[in-house]
Amino acid sequence: MSESNTTKPGLRKSRVGVVVSTSMNKTIVVEYVARVPHPRFKKIVKRSKKFYAHDETGQAAVGDKVRITETKPISKLKCWELTEVLSH
């Protein structure tokens, strides 16, 4: 029973968003915009959410398009880490 848990790790969520703040040490704020249908009227609406992500090397700048991946909690607000910078 336990060998299936050890051989296959859980799937980690991944998001692509735009960096809106880099003023904290080793932390960036990424705004993610999802286009989802309205539950009643079925019109496509934009839903945005901000994620705090860990940036160890400080390679991301404000306005960059980045990919972040879910990870174990690093602090009270941070449970995402920077995977790659897609465009500057």
The structure tokens listed for 82 are 């920077």
Amino acid residing at 67: R
Walk along the chain (88 residues) and give the pLDDT tens digit of each residue. Answer: 444 445 456 789 999 999 999 999 999 999 999 999 999 999 999 999 999 999 999 999 999 999 999 999 999 999 999 999 998 8
**How many Å apart are CA 86 and CA 35, to the nearest integer?**
20
Pick the closest to residue 69 from 17, 9, 4, 5 (CA basis).
17
Please enumerate in sequence order all residues whose Cβ is within 8 A of that of 37, keeping only pairs 6 or more positions apart, or say none: 43, 44, 45
What does the pLDDT read at residue 88? 83
What does the pLDDT read at residue 47? 97
